[in-house]
Every structure is written in C-alpha cells, then in structure tokens.
A and B are shown apart, each in its own frame.
Chain A
Amino acid sequence: MTDAPVNLAELLLAFARLGLISFGGTNVAELERALVLHHRWIDAQTLANGFALGQLMPGPNMLAVTHYGYAAAGLPGALTATLGFYGPTALLSAVVALVWQRHNKHPWVVAFRNALLPFGGGVILAGALVLGRTSVTSWPAALLAGVAFLLLWRTGANSAVVVLGAAVVGALLGL
C-alpha cells in the first residue's frame, strides 16, 4: 500500500471503466490487473477478502467494490467506487431496455449477442483462475474449495451458508 492520498476522480474513472467492461457480472481478472497491479490501491489479499465478503452481503455479490474503495480511500473511497462501478452500467441498462423493444429483431443485434457470449464465458473463467491463485495456496484450501464447489453444484445449497461454513472451517484449520 502507498500512503499517498488516492485521487477520488481517478478512483471514480477506474471503477466506472471496470463496471462497463465486466460481462456476466464478474471480471475478477481485470479487477486485479487494475486495482492491484496497476494502481496498487489494494493488495491481492484484500481483493480475495472483499470478494468473499461480497458473497455474504444482501444484494449483488460484486459489492466487493465497496470494500475495495474503502480499503483504498476510506468512506469517500467506498462511496466513489460504488457509484463509479454501478452508476454508468445501470444508466446504460435503463437506456438499452427502453431502446430494445424496437430493435430486438435486428440481425446485427443477434450477431453481437452471439459474439459476446463466448467472450463472457472466457472472462469469468479467467477471473476464477486469478482468484484461485490468491485463495488456493495450500492442499487444505484446495480441498475446501473443491468441497464447497461440489456442495453448491450438486445440492444447490445457499452460497452464503456455504461461504460462512467455509469461514468456520478455515478458522478451525488455521488456514
């Protein structure tokens, strides 16, 4: 962490960009590239912590950005990051929803959708890889992630419950 004060305008722009380029909701790979590697506002551990906390919060799980903003620049940073991440995308969505009803049969719109879907899949897998490099650093951690995945995938358990359970296991094991 640097002790230099974070420029809030820069923070706003960075998070607005991150919001607008996350397809399918989560672009952890780019979050890490921008916040950890490029701006150095947070470290990899904070990135993983915030993502985990985001799973436990009411509402969208990418509220991790509020945590990252807080880590970077306190309460103003948290509010700035949240506004930057959600504001432009929500505005865009509202506009698209109003325009869509007239153009949803346009062939180029269909082509764009088909071009975007595989990209979204790749983005989300890349995010899993980046997050895994930080979170899964030992065999017990790998096992815990595996068990959690099987529980979620096979039983459809509530993810907040699984994440809380994993937190208890982690504390007991001293991960």
Chain B
Amino acid sequence: MTRARSGDNPTTSPAASPTPSALARMFVVVALAGIGGGLPAHTRRALTSRGWMTDEAFAETYTLAQLTPGPNAVNLAAMVGARLAGRAGALACTIGVLTPGIVAMLAVSAVALGQAGGLPPAVQSGLRGAACAALAVLLTAALPVVRVGWGVRGGPVLTALTFLALGVLRLDLLPVLLALVGVGLLIHRPRPNSEKA
C-alpha cells in the first residue's frame, strides 16, 4: 500500500503506514478495552505505542472528532483511519470499533426483549438501578463539554438557552440549532465588516 504523501505536513509522521486490516484489529481490541468509557484514551495509547501516530497528530484529530456531529468515539476511529490509510482505513476502523459492541448488544437485546410478558421483576429493578447510574455517567461526560462551551464568549447564555429549548420546552432540534449556532456565529464572526443585508 503506497500512500500519496502530502509532503509538508509535520503532524503526520508515522513510523509505518498500517494496513486497513491491522487498524481494524487494533480497534477491536480498543473497543474491548474501552468498556465503560475511556475509548479515546485507549485509542491514543494503542496508536502511539505502535508508532502509527504522534501525540500532536492525535490531539488534533481528537479535537476535530469533538466538532463533527455524531458519536465521538466512532468519529475518532473514522478520522484516524482516514488519516492513516485513506477511505479503506476509515471503513476498517469504523467496523472494528463497532463490531464487538454490536454483537454483544444484539445478544443482550434478543434476551431482554424476547421475553414473553416482559422481564422478571428482579431484572427490571436491576435495569432501573443501572439506568440511574447511566444518568450519572451522562452527567460526568457532560461536565467537560459544558465547561468548554462555558468558556467561549456568550457561552453560558447559549448553553442555558439550548438546555431550556431542548430539555424543558422540548422544541425541535433543527430550528434551535440554526437559531443558536447562528447567534454564536454572529458573536464570533471573524471580522466585523460583514455587510448586513
């Protein structure tokens, strides 16, 4: 596999270019290690220990994955794959990171949802307990995201308005997104010479 090198890009200097199948295998292991979160950390360790990506290149890719819509861990895998082995790499990494979880979830779903007359009471109680902890997981994941959003100009107001519109008023996401991100773009527009129509 020969890659077209972009030449003057200092952030990508992998010791070796991994094949898509090697990347897929790596991400299967990363997914298995990442039960209960921490996927990005496992991804970073796996990549840097193999010499496939520098710390700087990983940090940049990770920031980018935060900014694209969709599930971060999978976006990160797709981006790593695209960067290291092009389109085939992106596909291989995405499939690799998802496969263990999909297989496990299908098995659990078949058992949990296949019961005639619902789950036994003890299991349903256990799931309710798990759901409470899952809420706590979501809140701990929210803290850093909210903190970063809070830090930009106008952030606290926009965060609060988004929360009110989506959580309390249950408005449709798309208009809220367009309105509030639009306001954010106005606040942060690069130069104040944009003509108002």
A contacts, CB < 8 Å to B: 19-30, 33, 37, 48-49, 51-63, 66-67, 70-71, 75, 78, 82, 85-86, 88-98, 100-101, 104, 107-108, 110-132, 134-136, 141-142, 144-146, 148-149, 151-153, 158-171, 173-175
Contacts and interface: CB of A to CB of B under 8 A. Distances in A.
A107 B194 CA distance: 13
A93 B65 contact: yes
A60 B71 contact: yes
A49 B112 contact: yes
Contact of A128 (B60, B113, B138): B138
8 contacts: A54-B134, A97-B79, A114-B153, A118-B155, A135-B132, A148-B133, A167-B133, A175-B125
Nearest to A175: B128
B108 interface: yes
B90 A122 contact: no
Contact of B127 (A93, A131, A170): A170
B73 interface: yes
A59 B74 CA distance: 9
B72 A24 contact: yes
Query: Which 6 A-B residue pairs are closest in the complex by CB-CB distance?
Result: A170-B129, A122-B162, A89-B70, A115-B184, A160-B36, A126-B167
B104 A58 contact: yes
A129 to B, nearest CB: 4
A35 to B, nearest CB: 13
A21 B106 CA distance: 24
A120 B139 CA distance: 13
Contacts of B191: 107
Contact of B133 (A20, A104, A111, A163): A163
B166 A62 contact: no
A131 B133 CA distance: 11
Given A93-B79, A96-B64, A118 B137 contact: no
A166 B132 contact: yes
Interface in B162-189: 162-163, 165-168, 170, 172-174, 177, 180-185, 187-189
A31 B40 CA distance: 24
A170 B9 CA distance: 53
Given A93-B79, A119-B159, A164-B130, 17 more contacts: A26-B71, A30-B173, A53-B109, A70-B109, A89-B69, A93-B74, A93-B78, A110-B188, A114-B152, A122-B159, A122-B162, A128-B135, A129-B168, A135-B128, A136-B135, A141-B128, A175-B129
Given A48-B131, A111-B190, A122 B35 contact: no
B18 to A, nearest CB: 16
Between A58, A107, A131, A136, the greatest number of chain B beta carbons within 10 A of the residue's beta carbon is seen for A58
Interface string B118-161: 00011101111111111111111111011111111111111111
Contacts of A62: 71
Contact of B66 (A24, A28, A104): A24
Between A22, A28, A70, A134, the greatest number of chain B beta carbons within 10 A of the residue's beta carbon is seen for A70
A48 to B, nearest CB: 4
A27 B125 CA distance: 25
A153 B134 CA distance: 13
B98 A86 contact: yes
